[in-house]
Each structure stands twice: as C-alpha cells, then as structure tokens.
Chains A and B, each alone.
Chain A
Amino acid sequence: MAELNKLGLAEARDALRKGDVTSVELTEACLTEIEGAGALNAFVHNTPEIARDQAKAADARIKAGDAPDMCGLPIGIKDLFCTKGVPSQAGSRILEGFLPEYESTVSGNLLDAGAVMLGKLNMDEFAMGSSNETSVYGNAVNPWRRGNDEAALTPGGSSGGSASAVAADLCLAATGTDTGGSIRQPAAFTGITGIKPTYGRCSRWGVVAFASSLDQAGPMTKSVRDAAIMLEAMCSHDPKDSTSADLPVPNFEAMLTGDIKGKKIGIPAEYRMDGMPEEIETLWAQGREMLADAGAEIVDISLPHTKYALPAYYVIAPAEASSNLARYDGVRYGHRAKLDQGDGITEMYEKTRAEGFGDEVKRRVMIGTYVLSAGFYDAYYNRARKVRTLIKKDFEDVFAQGIDAILTPATPSAAFGLGEASDDPVQMYLNDVFTVTVNMAGLPGIAVPAGTDANGLPLGLQLIGRPWEEGDLLNTAYALEARVGFVAKPGKWW
C-alpha cells in the first residue's frame, strides 16, 4: 500500500483488520511525513518513541482480535490536551516545561481505544485566536496556497496545527477544541471535516480551560465517516467534569445511512451578512440545492439575535478566561519570572504573567477582568448572559417548529494570508461570526468542505444540529459530503 499517511481512519481501520497493513507501518509513514513537514509548523512536540511503542501494542491487540475502531490509527493531539509526561503548553510561554502528571479524559479515551499519538499540535495561545498567529511556537501554515502564489496562508485557529496536519496528511486525524469556532473555522480553511459536539458530550477534564461554559473537544478528520468514528471514541460520561453528560454514546458511524428524505433543513435569513463574498453566497445556495436533491425539505427560518452572538461572546469568553487563567501565578507550574531585590508576591504574579502571556491573551484577560469588575458586572456580564439566553431560545424556537438541522456558511471568507488580519482584534473576531452562535447555544455543529474559491482555496459549509443528536447531524453532513464530492488536495510544496 502506497502513501499510508494519506489514508483516512475508516480505510486504515479496515486495512488493519484485514491484515493488509500494520499500525507500525502506518505510524512510520506518518512519522516520515512529519519529519519532512517542518515548514508547516503543525507538530510542535513530536513523540515518535511513544508512537512506535503504542503502534506495536496496537498491532498485538489487533492480532488478538481485541481492536476497537481507533486501534492502531496514528493521530495528532492538540497542545491544549494534557498528555501524561509529554509537554502540554496550550501554545503559551507560561506553561513552558510543564509535564502533566495525568492524561486528559479525551486523549485517555483515544489511547485506551488503541490510538497512536504522533505528537502535539500547534494552536493559538490558550485557544485564543482565529489564525494560529498567537502561538508561542510561531505560526502554523496552511498547506493550501492561492494557485501559484507562494504567500503563506493561515490554517485558521485556534486548532490551526490540527487542521494543517490533517490536510497535509501528516496524520490520519487530529483532536481539536472549539470555544467559538476553533474546530470548524480551521477545518473550513483547510478542506477537512470538523465537528464540535453538544456541550457536555466530551469531557473537559485535563483540557486546559479557556471559557468553561463554551469549550468542547471534537475530531478533525478527512471525512464525515472518520469524524463519526473518532467522535464516538472521544465521548464519555466523566465524573471528573461536572458538566459531562451522563447519556449513552451512540454508534455514530452506524447512523450514516445517507438517507435524509423528509428532513427539514433551516436556512437562517440573518446569516446573509452585508458584504459577504459572492462565492460564499453561491456555495451556500449550492448546499441548499444538494440537500434538497437528497430529499430534504428546505425551510427559510429566522434566528433574530444572531447579530449579538459575537459581541456577547466577547464578554462571556474573556470573563471566563480571566477567571480560569488566574491559576497561572508562577507558583504551582510553568513559568516564574526572575525577581528583583525586594520584589514581593504581587510583583511575582505581575511579572510572571506579563512575561508568560502573549498580547492577545493579556488583552482578553484584562477585558474579562473589566467586565467582571464592580460597577460593570451588570452592564456587561449579566447583560451578555441574558443575550445568550435569547440566542439559545432562537434555536429552540426553530427546533420546536420541526427543523432538524440548519445550513450556513462555515466562514465569511477563505483562508487569508498570515499577517493580513492580525492588526485589528475586532476584525479577527469576525472570523467566528457563523460559528460562535453554536457555542453560545451549546449545540453540535459540523464543518464540511463544500467547494473552492476562485484561487482554488477550500470553502466549507456548516450544519448545526439539535442537542445530543450528533448522529443525525453527521448523517446529514454525510449526505451533503456525498453530493459535494470534494476531492481536491493541496499540492505539496513543503
């Protein structure tokens, strides 16, 4: 079998079970590919020895007939997940040298299922960013380019390293996390599939916290089937996360029938933004036609508070971040600043945090501190939480009307150039305009590659599902994927 690294999870699983290939072979193919892909800066901590050991163990399990779906499949893990004994920095200087003594529940679930960890993946610092430009490791680079133009493009963020690695076939799949769009936007920018499940599906235990009421982990994969396989392996009820759902995890893959006859797909009027590029409009219209062609009923709907989701997010997420990131105090783990004569504990905190956090993280921690401070709490934080209630109600209302899923564009543009949008924070925030509503309402959302723009760059569509109905959502995405027939891959330049 040639180019094993290019396989998806389902194909590789089937080949392993047939005995056509071994996990060691798959793993070696990926390790070789990673070695040659330094220019993408996707993998930031490589763990080849761990991977080889895990691959051997997986081959033994497969031989013994004890092989869950993920057994023997080499994947990358976003740096936000704590992995035992392996650097887990959340893309930040403040966690330099931190070696967790424990494994996050999600990565632990994957490893227990026999998955092989190739290494840790680049990301925006503390998952705060939409371009992977806030990382202490430097920019991750998109394997896609605009035609023959050599300008480096962003893979999106915050799961930029995950997106770049999967799109460039450095691994079969990767974990991501999504607080405002951090799985779906990079997936759309790199022509891959990414799903954020319902809030509570994946345990947050051991995932470095950004905004706890919004954070969810999810898979980033080469197909909808792969997303179904990997999501099932990631999900579990976890007593160590009080918001983890005590619900059975279905066999998502078994729900991929492709039959969506009679399903009602909502098209929200408010997602038609002023100044939206024509090609995004066209892509969205084509998506509607494809789903109608598959037998779904297309229904115009209204989600009236859409416009306020992003500003409400930029109160709630920084507020939660300012609280979560208070733990980085230079006492228990990570970086501590060198102190001058006479410096006390306050100077230690202030210098440690000034040195350890990058500009965007500082900005958000301080905005969060401001909106939670005495006198502004009601005007900003409480108001944003009330608006969040209204945003969720918008979705509840359309689901009560019988809508099964909602189709929207995934991003307002294709991947942009590194450095092109980093001057104005608010401009950068607008990247998440179509994805952030889903986090605010705790719903599952999936980005599926749906076409290319005039420069040949991938564009994605997003489907939003009912809470806890990831299986149905994946099936709708599967029907869309089959009709899109997206097969383009980036030409190898790295």
Chain B
Amino acid sequence: MSIDQSTAARVAKLARIKVEEDQLPALASEFNTILGFIEQLSEVDVEGVEPMTSVTPQRLKRRVDEVTDGGQQDKVLANAPDAREGFFAVPKVVE
C-alpha cells in the first residue's frame, strides 16, 4: 500500500499537525518506508487469534463511584498558556 501526498496531507490534518506543502513529498516517502517495514505482518497467520487487549490477565479494579478529588482549580490552571477568570482561554470557537 503506497501513501501519496494527498493521503499524507489528510493524515497530518487528522493528527492536527501543520505540515507545509513542500514537505509533503518527503513525509509521504517516510510513511512508505515505515509502512513497508510494517507490511511484514501480513505474512502471519492470525486466523482465529484474539487481538490483545491487556498484556496481564488481571481484571481491572472497581471502586465505589464517589468523588475522591477536586477543588484544585488554581493548580489545574497553573500551567495554562492562557487562563482567565478561572477558565482556560482559547481563540473564538463559535461565531
């Protein structure tokens, strides 16, 4: 399977990473190298094999559904590039 420039552009868009137009050919070629390496997996007979969901057979723990944390607004916002009036600030989303 070969990745062309428009696919590379689509993937960059999905990943929300800006890639300049002139860098797309190089990116597509890198993808193809890596996917070529991954392609070996098609040799493996996986008929009837369950995809792994957990590497250790432990059951996930359950706990009572109750509030265990909170009330730390100042700490939550402390590292924000732009925080105002107790909120994260972002560019206008809705007109």
| Chain A 363-377 residues near chain B, CB threshold 8 A | 363, 365-367, 369-371, 373
Tell me if B93 and A344 are in contact (CB < 8 A). Answer: yes
Tell me if B90 and A366 are in contact (CB < 8 A). Answer: no
| Chain A 313-355 residues near chain B, CB threshold 8 A | 314-315, 322, 326, 329-336, 339, 343-351, 353-354
Interface residues on A, range: 35 or more
A305: B residues at CB distance < 8 A: 44
Question: Which single member of B17, B41, B43, B56 contacts A365 (CB below 8 Å)?
Answer: B17
Q: Which residue of B lies closest to A367 (CB)?
A: B34
Q: How many A-B residue pairs have CB under 8 A?
A: 164
A349-B41 contact given A198-B56, A239-B63, A242-B61, CB 8 Å threshold: no
Interface residues on B, range: 35 or more
| Chain B 49-64 residues near chain A, CB threshold 8 A | 49-56, 58, 60-61, 63
A389-B51 contact given A198-B56, A336-B81, A345-B90, CB 8 Å threshold: yes
**0/1 per residue, B31-56, Cβ < 8 Å to A?**
10111011111111010011111111
Q: Does A271 contact B (CB under 8 A)?
A: no
Q: Does A399 contact B (CB under 8 A)?
A: no
Q: Which residue of B lies closest to A101 (CB)?
A: B75
A98: B residues at CB distance < 8 A: 79
Q: Please, how many angstroms separate the alpha-carbon atoms of A129 and B27 in the complex?
A: 18
Q: Does B91 contact A (CB under 8 A)?
A: yes
Tell me if B93 and A354 are in contact (CB < 8 A). Answer: no
Question: Which single member of A351, A392, A441 contacts B18 (CB below 8 Å)?
Answer: A351
Q: Which residue of B lies closest to A440 (CB)?
A: B55
Q: Which residue of A lies closest to B49 (CB)?
A: A386
The A contact surface, by secondary structure, is helix
Chain B nearest CB from A296 CB (Å) reads 27
B79: A residues at CB distance < 8 A: 97-99, 101, 332-334
Tell me if A467 and B56 are in contact (CB < 8 A). Answer: yes
Tell me if A429 and B51 are in contact (CB < 8 A). Answer: no
B81: A residues at CB distance < 8 A: 330-331, 333-336
Q: Please, how many angstroms separate the alpha-carbon atoms of A312 and B60 in the complex?
A: 25
Question: Which single member of A99, A339, A345, A442 contacts B93 (CB below 8 Å)?
Answer: A345
Tell me if A322 and B37 are in contact (CB < 8 A). Answer: no
Q: Does B16 contact A (CB under 8 A)?
A: yes
| Chain B 1-37 residues near chain A, CB threshold 8 A | 3, 8, 11-12, 14-19, 27, 30-31, 33-35, 37
**Which residue of B44, B46, B82 has the most chain A CB atoms within 10 A of its CB atom?**
B44
Question: Which single member of A310, A336, A362 contacts B17 (CB below 8 Å)?
Answer: A362
A385: B residues at CB distance < 8 A: 51-53
A348-B38 contact given A101-B75, A389-B49, CB 8 Å threshold: no
Q: Does B92 contact A (CB under 8 A)?
A: yes
**Which residue of B16, B53, B56, B60 has the most chain A CB atoms within 10 A of its CB atom?**
B16
**Which residue of A307, A384, A440 has the most chain B CB atoms within 10 A of its CB atom?**
A384
Tell me if A322 and B15 are in contact (CB < 8 A). Answer: yes
Q: Which residue of A lies closest to B61 (CB)?
A: A242
Chain B nearest CB from A80 CB (Å) reads 17
Tell me if A336 and B82 are in contact (CB < 8 A). Answer: yes
Q: Please, how many angstroms separate the alpha-carbon atoms of A386 and B46 in the complex?
A: 6
Q: Please, how many angstroms separate the alpha-carbon atoms of A392 and B51 in the complex?
A: 11
A339-B91 contact given A245-B56, A349-B16, A363-B34, CB 8 Å threshold: yes
Q: Does A425 contact B (CB under 8 A)?
A: yes
Q: Does B78 contact A (CB under 8 A)?
A: yes
| Chain A 421-442 residues near chain B, CB threshold 8 A | 424-426, 429, 440-442
A388-B11 contact given A101-B75, A380-B38, CB 8 Å threshold: no
Question: Which single member of A198, A246, A354, A387 contacts B44 (CB below 8 Å)?
Answer: A387
Known: A101-B78, A366-B15, A387-B41. 4 other contacts (CB 8 A): A347-B91, A350-B17, A389-B50, A426-B34
Provide 24 A-B residue pairs closer than 8 Å at the C-beta atoms, listed in order of the A residue: A239-B61, A245-B58, A305-B44, A308-B43, A310-B37, A314-B38, A332-B76, A350-B18, A363-B34, A366-B8, A369-B15, A370-B31, A373-B14, A385-B53, A386-B49, A386-B50, A388-B55, A389-B50, A389-B51, A390-B44, A392-B52, A425-B30, A426-B37, A442-B56
Nearest first, the 6 A-B pairs at minimum CB distance are A442-B55, A385-B51, A333-B79, A336-B81, A350-B18, A354-B18
Q: Which residues of B contact A (CB under 8 A)?
A: 3, 8, 11-12, 14-19, 27, 30-31, 33-35, 37-44, 46, 49-56, 58, 60-61, 63, 72, 75-76, 78-82, 88, 90-93
